[in-house]
Amino acid sequence: MAANRRVETLTRHLTSMALVDVEAAPQLALPADFDPRELYEFLCRDNLELRDRIMEFLKDDLYQPNYYLSLMEFRELTLQRLQKFVAQKFFSSKDYITDPLRFQAGLECLALADYSLSIKAGVHFTLCGGTIAKLGTAKHHEQYLPRLDTLDLPGCFGMTELGHGSNVMGIETTATYDNQAGEFVIHTPSDTASKFWIGGAAQHGKVCTVFAQLTVNGKWEGPHVFVVRIRNDAGGPIPGVRIKDNGPKMGLNGVDNGQIWFDHVRVSRDALLDAFASVAPDGTYSSPIKSVAQRFGTMVGGLTTGRMLIAQAAVDAGKIGVAIAIAYACKRPQFGDTLIMDYLTHQRRLLPALATTYAMHLSMLRLKAIFVQKRPEDAKTIHVMSSGLKAGATWSRGETLQACRECCGGQGFLAANKIGAMKTDMDVDVTFEGDNTVLMQQVAKALLDAAVRSPSAPSAPSVSVPALTSLARIQELLAYREESLTAELAIAMARAMKAASSQGKQAAAAAANAAFEDNLDTVVALGWANVDRTAFQIFTEEVAAAPSATRPTLGALALLYGLTRIERNLAFYLAAGVLNGQHAAALRLRVNEVCRQLVSDGGKPALRLCAGFGIPDHLLQAPIAFDWTQIGSDGHQM
């Protein structure tokens, strides 16, 4: 038949785009006979018992979601929730220094219940308490930390200003030392200098760690941090402090953000957090770090915990999202007996999200392990990893929750099903604690520091089509992209420097910076390439160390992660000539195949991986994760 011949001919024509052959599609079984608790313990690693206790405590009625409240009622509920939590003394502000994993574990559990509660606690303990612990000295610790532990003195963090978000060095608030009085004068010289977005400022905050440009004896010493009362013990006003409510936000409305102006507010000499710089009564300024920029970098560098908590909360939200969406998809039929998880489009959205969530979680484990060792030589690694992972984890969280919400259809939009509500609350995480675009630039800058001095092009890996399933080849491909983008940018910057070198060092540096700015799209891509390569490497290392029964399933997930990261940047590899059309076709089929494996056996592998997250039912909450046909029954709070 002519038509059949034509089909055959066309098929040959289009081999590079070969589609799945119905009969040929393999349905490989994936043994997933492991105990989810064993996987959970592997994934959790620290403070298991404390976490179990806190999660158990969160069964308390006070922590059940209530979406009926007005803004002001929700803020009040959030305060009450924090008060009751604090009263349990699960951890102390001092743990920020002495037992950081315990400190973080406690706060991580709160995010499982409600993000407003988590952020209100985070502002108080991490941003305010952590700053006092890290940048203050014994006198500050004694004066403030016990009162923070009891929430007797709710704390705020006064860094961001209306006109200065990403550029913290450029804040305008001033602190001028008055030699005669032995006091600092804190002042807001303009509206753009007002402290903005300050969590807790609108209603409950009484004390604030204020970042201000210090001037002593007429000399500017750069930004320093001061502990300033913004309300008295009774919650009443402090003369010279003006506060305005930021009002409703798109989410996170349990947190009372506000705007603060200081009108020549006087604080004692002790208000300066003086671990890295001090002012003597006579106005003699001293610091072991001479450069203003380095000094500020050291101060801010000590405050990585907040960024790590944001990243971990994003990962944990991803866990909740995929656990709900996958549970629902494995039970919900549509068009006869077909479960929605049976559709490739569903698998393609939920399973890479599951893989990414694992990759980010395991990477955070690694970062925390390095962080607690406190080795000076790890400072750069911590900076790069915490920046990249915060951006990578929160952007991935956004994608993951969006996919989960859409895969649950209308049910994903119902507040009771948690995904949508989390998505709204957490949307802020991609721009706070460092805007993600700026953080990815930080990652790239660190990688380029060395590369610009001596740019070198990486050699392209050679990959055969079958080798696409090899974890080692995937690792090479991911590394190649990072090295290649580093080389491209380093070369562009080096060329610009060279062209401007005759005009002096400053001109050369400016030219290099201009080349960097002109290629910001590639800069951000480099940040991502670093996160992808690092996370995949950690993922494969962790699979090797995982309980043996979990390894086949975790391994398939790691493979899916690696394949989809390459697929996402496929154009790069094709343009570079490292992969070709046949690879592209094979890659697609491999991804589809691994997806099918992960949902074989009624979805068991995927469901076990979700169970491994160890989110108890009362924190998963969503009715659709259990019996979706009873969604409207009175058993579930709606």
Task: Kindly identify the residues of this chain, within the stretch 22-51, that bind a copy of itself according to CB under 8 A.
Answer: 22-23, 25
Q: Which residues in 378-407 contact a copy of itself (CB under 8 A)?
A: 398, 402, 405-406
Binding segment toward a copy of itself, per CB under 8 A, in 176-184, 263-271, 335-343, 356-364:
335-343
Strand partners, 265: 186
Nearer Cβ to a copy of itself (362/523): 523
Q: Whole-angstrom Cα distance, residue 80 to residue 277?
A: 37
Helix (H) or strand (E) segment spanning residue 187: strand 183-187
Question: 91-150: which residues touch a copy of itself (CB under 8 A)?
Answer: none
Residue 436 within binding range of a copy of itself, rule CB under 8 A:
yes
Strands 257-262 and 241-245: antiparallel
- Which listed residue (507, 570, 600, 601) binds a copy of itself by CB under 8 A? 570
Q: Which of 235, 247, 602, 635 binds a copy of itself (CB under 8 A)?
A: 247
* Burial call 105-122: b when 16+ CB within 10 Å, e when fewer: bbbbbbbbbbbbbbbbbb
**CA 216/CA 383 separation, integer angstroms:** 31
Which residue do the tokens 């969604």 mark? 631
Q: How many CB atoms lie within 10 A of CB 269?
A: 17
**Which range binds a copy of itself by CB under 8 A, 271-279, 359-367, 371-379, 517-525?**
517-525
Which of 276-284, 354-362, 544-552, 575-583 is the region at the interface with a copy of itself (rule: CB under 8 A)?
A: 575-583
Q: Which of 59, 435, 549, 626 binds a copy of itself (CB under 8 A)?
A: 435
DSSP annotation of 237? B
Cβ proximity to a copy of itself, 47 vs 424, nearer residue: 424
Q: Rounded to an integer, what distance in angstroms lies between the CA atom of residue 386 and that of residue 306?
A: 10
Cβ contacts of 123 within 8 Å, gap of 6 or more: 155, 156, 157, 199, 200, 255
Least separation in angstroms between CB 207 and a copy of itself: 22
DSSP structure string for 86-100: HHT-SS-TTHHHH-H
199 is in an annotated binding site: yes
Among 112, 584, 611, 625, binds a copy of itself (CB under 8 A): 584
Stretch that binds a copy of itself, among 3-11, 93-101, 351-359, 535-543 (CB under 8 A): 3-11
Of the residues 213, 386, 396, 519, which one makes contact with a copy of itself according to CB under 8 A:
519
What is the smallest separation between the CB atom of 302 and a copy of itself, expressed in angstroms? Answer: 23
Q: Which of residues 52-81 bind a copy of itself (CB under 8 A)?
A: 67-73
Separation in Å, CA 293 to CA 300, 306, 441, 445, 513: 11, 21, 18, 16, 18
Residue 575 as a binder of a copy of itself (CB under 8 A): the answer is yes
Computed on alpha carbons and rounded to an integer, the radius of gyration of the chain in Å comes to 27
Binders of a copy of itself among residues 140 to 159 (CB under 8 A) are: none
Cα 366 to Cα 389: distance, rounded to the nearest angstrom:
11
Given the DSSP bridges, would you call strands 174-178 and 207-216 parallel, antiparallel or unpaired? parallel
* Type of residue at 553: T
Q: How far is CA 570 from the centre of its chain?
A: 25
- How far is the C-alpha of 479 from the C-alpha of 153, rounded, in Å? 49
Site for a copy of itself (CB under 8 A): which residue of 160, 312, 356, 363? 160
Find the catalytic residue in 108, 161, 433, 542.
433
Q: Is 357 marked as a binding-site residue?
A: no
- The reply on whether position 585 binds a copy of itself by CB under 8 A is yes
Q: Pick the binder of a copy of itself from 137, 143, 215, 431 (CB under 8 A).
A: 431
Strands 155-158 and 207-216: parallel
Q: Is 300 in the site for a copy of itself (CB under 8 A)?
A: no
Binding mask 596-635 for a copy of itself (x = CB under 8 A): ---------------------------------xxxx---
Cβ of residue 82: shortest distance to a copy of itself, in angstroms?
A: 21
Count of residues that bind a copy of itself according to CB under 8 A: 120
Residue 289 engages a copy of itself in binding (rule: CB under 8 A): no
Is the Cβ of residue 53 or residue 588 nearer to a copy of itself in the bound state? Answer: 588
Cβ-based burial of 3 (10 A; exposed 0-12, middle 13-18, buried ≥19): exposed
Three-class HEC string of 548-616: HHHHHHHHHHHHHHHHHHHHHCHHHHHHCCCCCHHHHHHHHHHHHHHHHHHCHHHHHHHHHHHHCCCCC
- Who contacts 296 (Cβ-Cβ below 8 Å, separation ≥6)? 168, 169, 222, 223
* Residue 638 in the binding site for a copy of itself (CB under 8 A): yes
Looking at 189, 248, 602, 635, which residue binds a copy of itself (CB under 8 A)?
Answer: 248
What residues numbered 447-466 form the site for a copy of itself, per CB under 8 A? 454-457
Q: Which of 33, 378, 517, 541 binds a copy of itself (CB under 8 A)?
A: 517
Element (H, E) at 484: helix 471-500
Structure tokens that stand for 94 in this block: 């001092």
Task: Tell me if 555 contacts a copy of itself by CB under 8 A.
Answer: no
Least distance from a copy of itself to the Cβ atom of residue 537, Å: 24
User: What does the alpha-carbon distance between residue 191 and residue 49 come to, in Å, rounded to a whole number?
Assistant: 48
Q: Does 17 bind a copy of itself (CB under 8 A)?
A: yes
- Is 433 catalytic? The answer is yes
CB of residue 513 vs a copy of itself: minimum separation in angstroms?
A: 10
**Only segment of 139-147, 546-554, 583-591, 613-621 that touches a copy of itself (CB under 8 A):** 583-591
Calculate the CA 58 to chain-centre distance: 23
Binding segment for a copy of itself among 86-94, 119-127, 266-274, 522-530 (CB under 8 A)? 522-530
Would you say 618 or 636 has its CB closer to a copy of itself?
A: 636
Annotated active-site positions, please?
A: 433
Q: Which residues contribute to the annotated binding site for FAD? A: 160, 199
